[in-house]
Each structure stands twice: as structure tokens, then as C-alpha cells.
Chains A and B, each alone.
Chain A
Amino acid sequence: MSAVKDYKKLAIVGEVGSGKTQLISTISEIAPLETEARSSVDIGKEFTTVGIDYGRLQLGKGMALGLYGLPGQSRYSFLWDIVRDGLWGLLILVKYGEHFHEDVFLSVIKHFDIVALQTPIVIGVSHSESLSDDDIDAIASKIESALQTIGITAPILTVDPRKVESCLSVLELLDYLSRYRN
């Protein structure tokens, strides 16, 4: 297998049950040949036990996107640093119906320093497939005002991590965001 020259990372962060594992297993490649590439990436085995998900999209010759599912609680922030290098985008999953922990949510964004680094960021509200527009607006404005307290604005989408097309839309938006930076 040829070496991956251009390898970038997508971090998917969210609290318990927000759909990180699901999203990665929905779009990550499963073909057995790729297991080699998987293990060649530096992710120590001990990390999997504390809940890192890892997946990968081969994008063509020498290019790949690593998918990293990371727990949202800041006591795991040492895990977040794994993706710092080569971070392509940040997806924060918010599970609808659970209490929205503003401080937890913001600590992720602050940790990644997304303003200074100009990292594309998308907020995805999961478990939202049967919500009315009003419900969605309500959670969106809650998220939006949390973002305002640290002076940023970011796109908020509803996401269903079980559905391929929904996951692809997130990738598409992250690509738009990244394409127009500087």
C-alpha cells in the first residue's frame, strides 16, 4: 500500500450517546485491506479502551481523511490533542433531548483554538429526526447564544449519524468552510 502523503483529521466530539461511534461506522471504510493502514496510524491501543473511535476515508492517491471520535468531557482533553496536528475540521455533536451542557460544549471549542487556527467547525444536532422546526430552532438558538459568549458563529445542522447522506452533507459543509479560508 502506498504511503499516505496527505493525511488530515476530522475530529468528532460529543457527549455520551451523541452518535460519534455511529457516524464513523456509517461512513468509514470497512474493506479488510484497509486494516493495515488503520493500524499504521499512531493510535495506541490503550486509547481505544477509553473510547476513541477511529475510522478512515481513502480519498485517492496518497490522500486520506482520518475520522476520530472523541469524548466530549474535558477530563478527556488529553485525547483531544491526538488530532491537533493536521486537523481538517471539527464536528461537535449535540444530542437533542439531553441537557445541553454549555460549559462542556464551549470547553471543546476553546481547547481546539479554532479561531486562531481557522479550523472549520460544524455543530450537528443528533437525535433530531422527528423534531418540529420550532424544536430545532429552540436548540439552535441555545447553541448559538453559547457560541456568542466566545465571539464565534458557526453553522448548526441537524445530523442523523445513521444515515450516509446526512454524514456526507457534514463533510461537504466542512469542505466549503475549509476551501474559503484564507
Chain B
Amino acid sequence: MSIKCVAYTSKLSIDLTDKNYSSEIIKIVNKSRINNKNLGVTGILLFSGSHVFQYLEGDNDTIATLLYRIKKDSRHQFHSLALHKTGDKRLFPTWNMRLISPNTASQRKVIGKICDHYKVVLDLDGFQLEDELVKGTPSPVVVPLLQSHAQNVQKDSQQKKQALKPTSKVPFEGYLLELKSWPRPRTLNENKGILQLCSALSAKPCTLNHLRAQSIYSHDEDLINALNLLDRLNFLIRTQDKSQLGQEPLQLNTKIKKNNDVKNRFSQAIKRFIHSAKLGS
């Protein structure tokens, strides 16, 4: 079974300046130890001043839920996800939430263990050990997380680009496109682009240019391919665009515009919320 492993840093908004483990920490650790035991979660917890570094491992959905809770917990000012990996074995199988004593040597030891295991340098955003451990017990392969992610994404889209033969003629130009019916759940669950495209098509008849302007896909071929897919599966209605919809005169009713601004603001806020609540961010 695969194990999801995450680590994050955060600043606690409760006062932890008391050097002898304030009772607040003990409370947090005891509570999470019991919770984690029930949930099958293992990991470690480090404190430095009011900063926390926590490493958690467990099944994917449990970890997603825990992280969501932590991000929503008003005692935490969530900083960043330092690690997000899938592994096949636990690093701390017997520790339901071990509190590492706040001295540099022990903290360095466990962080070093994590770095070595995942072959990464952890970015301990805001979390400081007494000396300069933070940027890493040098690991055999030094791969800053974000960078490697960005490279992967780039590679993906390059590969995709090569795989797609340029379409000889744009088949949707000059038509109004509309959604006839929604694809099956499986397709929707697995395909964010299709989900977004269908949402746009279900709202009103769209020209190709209108769809392009929504920037659902970063490459035009991807948009055309998605439309082709919908068309082949008979989810699309195409009608000749007689009205030249793309060139209708610009008469912006200011009231409508204002409404849209409010709506966009809300939509942006929802988007931010979802993005920040997701496991991978």
C-alpha cells in the first residue's frame, strides 16, 4: 500500500516562548498522538520558538484531511509545504507523533533522516535551528522540490506538444458551440480541462474565440483536441455562426459590469480557497 508523506512549517499564534515546553505544546502533542493513533498516522513534530515543523505519513485521504484541518486551524499560520511524496514504507512506523526535543542535535538528526530518505533538501521556511542545519545535511541528490516540480510540468507539456500533430484546419471556426449533454462522471472526475470547457459551453453558445479567451488550456491544440473529443462523443451542438457574435458592439451596461466584478471577486476567493486547501499546495 502506498503511503502519503508530507511535511510543513507553520507559525503558531499561541505563545510558546516559555523554554520549558509550555503546557500548550504538551496538550497539542497529546491530542494529536491519540488522533493519529486512531487514524494510522505516524510522524514527528519539532518546535523552534513559535515555529513548528511537522512530518506526517499515512494514507492519502487521511493526510489530505489532516492537512486541510491544519490549514484551517486558527492557531496555525501555515507557511508552506516542505515535502509532498508518495512512498511505500513509513519512515517512523512506531511514532504516532513524536515530539523531538528542542535541541539542535536531535532535530538535525530527524530532519537529516527525512532528507536522506527522500533525497531532498527541505525548505524549512521560517523554522530555524540554532545553527545552520536548515539547508541540509547534504543529500546524495540535491533536488529543490519546487524546481523539480516545475521541470516535470514543463517536460510534460513539451512531450504533449510533440505528441500532438498540428491540426490541418480548425474545424470549429465560424460555429456557435453549445453543450448538448454532460459527459459521464468518470470523464469529468478525471479531466479538469473538460470540466471547465463543458462549464463554459453549458452557460451559453460560444464561439471558438470566446473559448480561447477563457484560457482553459494553455495551448490552442489542446482546446481543439478537447472539442474534437466532445464532438466525437456527441456532446456538442454546432450551429453556423450567422450573427458574427465575436463582433457585437461593445455596450457595457455599467450595472452588469459591477455585478460581474463582485462575482469575479467571489470566484477568485473560492479559487484561492480551493488551491490553498489542496494537498499538493
Question: A125 touches which one: B185, B196, B267, B271 (CB < 8 A)?
Answer: B185
Contact residues in A for B267 (Cβ distance below 8 Å) = 175, 178-179
Nearest CB in chain A to that of B203: its residue: A180
Contact residues in A for B182 (Cβ distance below 8 Å) = 144, 153-156
Instruction: Say whether A109 faces chain B, with CB atoms less than 8 Å apart.
Output: no
Nearest CB in chain B to that of A171: its residue: B274
Q: In the bound complex, do residue A173 and residue B278 qualify as a contact, i.e. CB atoms below 8 Å apart?
A: no
Q: In the bound complex, do residue B61 and residue A164 qualify as a contact, i.e. CB atoms below 8 Å apart?
A: yes
Q: In the bound complex, do residue B200 and residue A180 qualify as a contact, i.e. CB atoms below 8 Å apart?
A: yes
Q: How far is the CB of A180 from chain B (nearest CB, A)?
A: 4
Contact residues in A for B270 (Cβ distance below 8 Å) = 59, 65, 171, 175
Q: What string of 1s and 0s marks CB contacts (under 8 Å) between A138-171 and chain B?
A: 0010001000000001111110001111001101
Q: What string of 1s and 0s marks CB contacts (under 8 Å) between A16-32 and chain B?
A: 00000000001101111
Instruction: Say whether A137 faces chain B, with CB atoms less than 8 Å apart.
Output: yes
Nearest CB in chain A to that of B277: its residue: A168
Contact residues in B for A162 (Cβ distance below 8 Å) = 61
Max chain B C-beta neighbours (<10 A), residue from A173, A180, A181? A180
Instruction: Say whether A6 faces chain B, with CB atoms less than 8 Å apart.
Output: yes
Contact residues in B for A33 (Cβ distance below 8 Å) = 74
Instruction: Say whether B279 faces chain A, with CB atoms less than 8 Å apart.
Output: yes
Complex CA distance for A169 and B194, rounded to whole angstroms: 13
Stretch among B31-39, B65-73, B104-112, B148-156 lining the A interface? B65-73
Complex CA distance for A137 and B266, rounded to whole angstroms: 34
Q: In the bound complex, do residue B272 and residue A59 qualify as a contact, i.e. CB atoms below 8 Å apart?
A: yes
Q: In the bound complex, do residue B199 and residue A31 qualify as a contact, i.e. CB atoms below 8 Å apart?
A: no
Q: In the bound complex, do residue B184 and residue A136 qualify as a contact, i.e. CB atoms below 8 Å apart?
A: yes
Nearest CB in chain B to that of A65: its residue: B270
Q: In the bound complex, do residue A164 and residue B64 qualify as a contact, i.e. CB atoms below 8 Å apart?
A: yes
Q: In the bound complex, do residue A175 and residue B68 qualify as a contact, i.e. CB atoms below 8 Å apart?
A: no
Q: In the bound complex, do residue A163 and residue B65 qualify as a contact, i.e. CB atoms below 8 Å apart?
A: yes
20 A-B residue pairings within 8 Å (CB atoms): A26-B65, A29-B72, A31-B73, A59-B270, A63-B269, A133-B186, A137-B184, A140-B184, A140-B185, A144-B181, A153-B180, A157-B185, A163-B64, A163-B65, A172-B192, A176-B200, A177-B199, A179-B199, A179-B267, A182-B204
Q: Which residues of B contact A (CB under 8 A)?
A: 61, 64-65, 68-69, 72-75, 179-182, 184-186, 188-189, 192, 195-196, 198-200, 202-204, 214, 256, 262-267, 269-274, 277-279
Given contacts A60-B272, A136-B186, A176-B196, 19 further A-B contacts (CB under 8 A): A6-B266, A26-B65, A30-B73, A133-B186, A137-B185, A140-B185, A144-B181, A144-B182, A153-B202, A155-B198, A156-B188, A162-B61, A164-B68, A165-B278, A168-B277, A168-B278, A171-B273, A178-B263, A180-B199
